[in-house]
DNA sequence: CGGTTTGTTGAGGGCCATCAAGTTGAGTGG
DNA sequence: CCACTCAACTTGATGGCCCTCAACAAACCG
């Protein structure tokens, strides 16, 4: 384990390492400097549903400022470098730190509402293209867009976000590649023209 | 419950009347004294996805305290009687009013995460029984359970919550009735033994 | 009492899950 | 440098859940 002596607030997590466990008290939040993480729920039969994605530049999780408790577990989807922000350091400090986190909390809240719409009413194709478009948009807002937009998620990870099986995710993503809407670099997915992906998601029919 | 009777204005909404429109500024929240409401999104083709249910006793919507703006529209699902709570009256008042709303906000946040799990990983049967169990549990917490628990939603409303078609909701609900898990009084659904419904939802397979 | 909303039921089909084999590639140790 | 291992990706066959279309019944309402 890394024990940053001195005042170094950086924390490293390996892929599959937990940033928080469901039920745990939290006295800090993390700002992801590099790497991706997610909040998830496990079902009794072992299947997983991811309920929030955390991208480079995101704060994880803003609501800990209010509740000081992790309702669900958070796990690293890639190797992660994060800045630890103790809650005590911002509760009494300027309002700016808090209001930035409150803004992030509301953004996450609204994003969850949007995702309910996708899961409830969009087909596999619509959910996956909507996810890619959302990822690009968020990376752009965080100032983390490289040329072009790369997505370091496994197809299993994607399946657990969009509520599908990895097999079907593979078929949909393969079709997107055939159409030139995404490319592959090894196993990582690249979205060359995010605006075209974005146009894809409108008019996608009912799932099922 | 709030005991300061009399001075706060009561508002009435008819079924299908809007409590708020998406994008509108909000300078108040509502406490539903009677009736049900929901937050929803319309898709370009006219389909609807409900992203939050508001039951008697609920506050609608707590996040307006923070953002003073309705992101999405709110509509009455039944006739509604609501108490109007001006935001100005609680921002400067005791912290209790605010913290009660913040609690409600976090509850809604966590409920949305749970609902993402249902939509992503549960079958039609699991989603509907989970909805009924959630409704009973929330009514109980609000002190609004009559004997027995009645649900004044149309099957179309239920479909728009659980992300299915009304036709299929009808089939699932009819099967639940055949099993004695729900009863009908005219068109309103009654859940006689909510604990049994609750047991139903575990182990429901993948949707699709 | 005519129109509208809501519920009900059947037939057929499509989307996606499931099952089952592979193939590929990265990491490891000999 | 090459077996070995394991995770991740790929592909085909089959089937079930749920959508779609359609028609009708029942309840509600002005």
Q: Is the same domain home to A114 and A151?
A: no
Which chain B residues are Cβ-neighbours of A157 within 8 angstroms?
none
pLDDT of residue B93: 62
Residue where a domain stops, chosen among A121, A154, A171: A121
Instruction: Look up the domain containing A19 and give its range.
Output: 9-121
Distance in angstroms (rounded) separating the CA atoms of residues B189 and B172: 13
The gap between B199 CA and C8 C1' (Å) is: 27
Asked if B98 contacts B62 with a C-beta cutoff of 8 angstroms, the reply is no
Of the residues A72, A96, A121, which one is the last residue of a structural domain?
Answer: A121
pLDDT in tens, B128-169: 999 999 999 999 999 988 778 999 999 999 999 999 999 999
> What is the rounded distance in angstroms from the CA atom of residue A171 to the CA atom of residue A137?
24
Please classify residue A73 by burial: count the beta carbons closer than 10 Å to its beta carbon, then call 0-12 exposed, 13-18 middle and 19+ buried. middle
- Looking at the fold, whether B93 and B164 belong to one and the same domain comes out as no
- Rounded to the nearest integer, the mean pLDDT of chain B is 90
Tokens representing residue A206 in the block? 């009912």
Residues B57 and B133 in one domain: no
pLDDT > 70 in chain B, percent: 91
What residues in chain B have their Cβ under 8 A from chain A's Cβ atoms? Answer: 39, 41, 43-45, 47, 49, 51-52, 63, 66-67, 71-72, 102, 105-106, 108-110, 112-117, 119-121, 162-163, 165, 202-203, 206-208
Examine the domain organization and report whether B67 and B137 are in the same domain: no
Q: If pLDDT is split at 50, 70 and 90, which confidence band does A4 have?
A: very low
Q: Which long-range contacts (CB under 8 A, 24 or more apart) does B94-99 make?
A: B98/B65
Here the CATH number for the domain that contains residue A168 is: 1.10.10.10
Q: What is the DSSP letter of B50?
A: E
The answer to whether the CB atoms of B112 and A110 lie below 8 A apart is no
pLDDT class of A208 with cuts at 50, 70, 90:
very low
Given a cut of 50, is residue B4 above it in pLDDT?
Answer: no
Q: Give residues 61-90 of chain A lying near strand D (Cβ < 7 A).
A: none
A16-29, pLDDT tens digit by residue? 999 999 999 999 99
We report the CATH number of the domain holding residue A30 as: 2.60.120.10
- Whether pLDDT at A203 is above 70: no
* Mean pLDDT computed over B34-50: 97
Nucleic strand D under 7 Å from the C-beta of B208: yes
Q: Which residue's CA shows the smallest distance to C1' of C9?
A: B171
Q: Is the pLDDT of residue B203 over 70?
A: no
Specify whether A197 is located in the same domain as A95.
Answer: no
Q: Is the CB of A130 under 7 A from strand C?
A: no
- DSSP secondary structure letters along A132-175: HHHHHHHHHHTT-PPSSEEE---HHHHHHHHTS-HHHHHHHHHH
What DSSP element (H or E) covers B95?
Answer: helix B95-121
Domain boundary among A121, A137, A164: A121
Number of C-beta neighbours around residue B181 at 10 A: 19
Q: What's the number of domains chain A is made of?
A: 2
The whole-number Å distance from B159's CA to D28's C1' is 21
Average pLDDT, chain A: 90
Q: What is the DSSP letter of B203?
A: T
User: What is the structure's pLDDT at B201?
Assistant: 67
Strand D nucleotides where any atom sits below 7 Å of a protein CB: 8-13, 16-22, 27-28
C strand bases under 7 Å from protein CB: 5-10, 14-20, 25-26
* A116 & A146 share domain: no
Same domain? For A26 and A78 the reply is yes
> Are residue A37 and residue A108 in the same domain, yes or no?
yes
pLDDT band at residue A71 using 50, 70 and 90 as cut-offs: very high
Q: Tens digits of per-residue pLDDT, B93-108?
A: 666 788 899 999 999 9
């Amino acid at each position: 384990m890394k024990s940053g002596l001195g005042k170094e607030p950086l924390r490293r997590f390996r892929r599959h390492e937990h940033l928080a466990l469901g039920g745990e008290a939290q006295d800090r939040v993390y700002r992801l400097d590099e790497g991706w993480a997610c909040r998830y729920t496990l079902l009794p039969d072992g299947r997983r549903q991811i309920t929030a994605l955390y991208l480079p530049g995101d704060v994880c999780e803003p609501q800990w400022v209010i509740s000081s408790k992790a309702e669900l577990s958070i796990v690293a989807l890639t190797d992660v470098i994060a800045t630890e922000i103790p809650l005590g350091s911002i509760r009494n400090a300027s309002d700016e730190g808090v209001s930035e986190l409150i803004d992030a909390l509301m953004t996450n809240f609204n994003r969850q509402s949007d995702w309910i719409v996708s899961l409830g009413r969009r087909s596999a194709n619509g959910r996956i293209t909507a996810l890619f478009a959302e990822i690009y948009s968020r990376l752009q807002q965080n100032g983390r867009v490289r040329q072009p937009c790369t997505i370091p998620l496994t197809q299993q990870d994607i399946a657990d976000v969009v509520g599908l099986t990895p097999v079907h995710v593979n078929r949909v993503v393969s079709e997107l590649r055939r159409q030139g809407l995404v490319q592959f670099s090894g196993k990582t997915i690249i979205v060359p023209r995010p605006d075209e992906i974005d146009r894809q998601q409108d008019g996608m029919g009912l799932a099922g």
